[in-house]
Amino acid sequence: MTEVRADTGERAPADATDESGTAGRIAKREREMADRAVRVAERGSKPTRVVSARVSVWLRLREMWRARELFVFLVRKEIKVKYKNSVLGFLWSMLNPALTLAVFYVLFTYFLPNGIPHFVIYMFSAMLVWNLYQTALIGGTTSVVLNAGIVKKVAFPREILVLASVGAAFMFFFYQSIVMIIFMFAFRHVPAWGDIWLLIPALAAIIVFASALAIFLAAVNVYLRDTQHLIEVLLVAWFWAIPTVYAFSGRVHEALERHTILFIPHTKLIWLYFANPVTPVVMTFQRFFFNDFNPHSTIATHPILANGHVAPYTVHALIPVLANYPVHWFVGADLAVLGVSVLLFLGALSVFGHLEGNFAEEL
């Protein structure tokens, strides 16, 4: 037997706790807890939030409403970041559409005259809507993926990111409109002031429609990154489905009435044309800005012959550029788009909610 004593050479404390006695410690803690309880009570009532796999659309809308200030900041951020570090900065938001307008003016006045007076205004009034729609859609679709850093780390209603993109698009639309008005003033082109109220349902319709589509696509884009490229191509085709660079009345209108949808009998292609939610909005804008549905313009057209065939030659004829629909047609069409868009919006929120659960891991 060997007895070995390993001396640590240190004196360990008898009582390792830093407070005097167990009883005193407990009493102190209880006092602390009681004090705290009083303060807990003072803090009053609080909102309740539920985190679960299923959140109702109404709850989502409420959360979005609560985050409205965030929306404003995000819109502001988007505009600021876009022109940061450029010399002219914010001025670009005006300069850009002004230069575009100038190019179109030169192009359609000197190189590609098509007989429609002030065609630039006709085209640009459609471009206002189209740019708003396109910017909102592309910006919105990519918004969640581009803001992955925030989405993964901060909890907030993510739809706000999409809506902020739409909001920023609306701000750019606003600046473009100012340029447009200045341009019209310079060319003494008077808009249809009496119809200005028509712009309200039209704008509401296009904004809600773009938001609905963008919310849906933004969620899908997280899982399928093709979405953002696909939508760009789709928008190119879509652009030609609205009367921007061509006049709706006359030849286009007639052709649309004459042709069927995919050879299905008793259908008219024009139904499909007007099923495009952007079209009525664009037409409303043209009605206000271009204000010329009884023009003195000549358009080179292929006349329809007596036997129903299209003539191989063109004649210059006086034809209205705009569709000669009554005011209530525009109101009805815009409100119909708005109504459908609201439903689409709610549906998009529901889809977004289902897909949102895995955003943080998919990004």
Q: Which residues bind other proteins (CB under 8 A)?
A: 1-8, 10-19, 33-43, 46-53, 55, 66-67, 69-70, 73-74, 77, 80-81, 84-85, 147, 149-156, 223-226, 230, 356-358, 360-361
Instruction: Give DSSP secondary structure letters for 187-250.
Output: TTPPP-GGGGGGHHHHHHHHHHHHHHHHHHHHHHHHH-THHHHHHHHHHHHHHTTSSSSS-STT
**Minimum distance between the CB of residue 146 and other proteins, rounded to whole angstroms?**
12
**Minimum distance between the CB of residue 359 and other proteins, rounded to whole angstroms?**
8
Q: Return the number of the residue (83 or 238) whose C-beta is nearest other proteins.
A: 83
The two structure tokens encoding residue 148:
């992955």
Q: Can you give the length of the chain in residues?
A: 363
The two structure tokens encoding residue 203:
């704008």
CA gap 287, 332 in Å, rounded:
15
Q: Return the number of the residue (83 or 293) whose C-beta is nearest other proteins.
A: 83
| CA distances from residue 143 to 67, 215, 247 in whole angstroms, order as listed | 17, 9, 35
Q: Return the number of the residue (258 or 354) whose C-beta is nearest other proteins.
A: 354
User: What stretches of 67-118 show up as alpha helix (H) in DSSP?
Assistant: 68-83, 92-106
**Minimum distance between the CB of residue 31 and other proteins, rounded to whole angstroms?**
12
The two structure tokens encoding residue 143:
């918004």
**Minimum distance between the CB of residue 94 and other proteins, rounded to whole angstroms?**
21
Residue 357 CB partners (closer than 8 Å, separation 6+): 53
The answer to whether residues 178 and 94 touch, using CB atoms and an 8 Å cutoff, is yes
Q: Return the number of the residue (69 or 328) whose C-beta is nearest other proteins.
A: 69
Q: Return the number of the residue (42 or 237) whose C-beta is nearest other proteins.
A: 42
Tell me which DSSP letter residue 10 carries. -
Q: Return the number of the residue (147 or 249) whose C-beta is nearest other proteins.
A: 147
The two structure tokens encoding residue 139:
């910006």
Q: Return the number of the residue (16 or 237) whose C-beta is nearest other proteins.
A: 16
**Minimum distance between the CB of residue 147 and other proteins, rounded to whole angstroms?**
8
Radius of gyration of the chain (CA): 31
Q: 125: closest CA among 188, 179, 195?
A: 179
The two structure tokens encoding residue 231:
């939508």
**Minimum distance between the CB of residue 362 and other proteins, rounded to whole angstroms?**
9
**Minimum distance between the CB of residue 156 and other proteins, rounded to whole angstroms?**
6
Q: Return the number of the residue (32 or 257) whose C-beta is nearest other proteins.
A: 32
SS3 55: coil
Q: How many CB atoms lie within 10 A of CB 266?
A: 6
**Minimum distance between the CB of residue 115 and other proteins, rounded to whole angstroms?**
44
Q: Return the number of the residue (77 or 258) whose C-beta is nearest other proteins.
A: 77
Q: 318: closest CA among 247, 258, 255, 259?
A: 247
**Minimum distance between the CB of residue 133 and other proteins, rounded to whole angstroms?**
24
**Minimum distance between the CB of residue 221 and other proteins, rounded to whole angstroms?**
10
Q: 67: closest CA among 157, 190, 191, 202?
A: 157
Q: Return the number of the residue (84 or 309) whose C-beta is nearest other proteins.
A: 84
Q: Is 23 exposed, middle or buried (0-12, 13-18, 19+ CB in 10 A)?
A: exposed
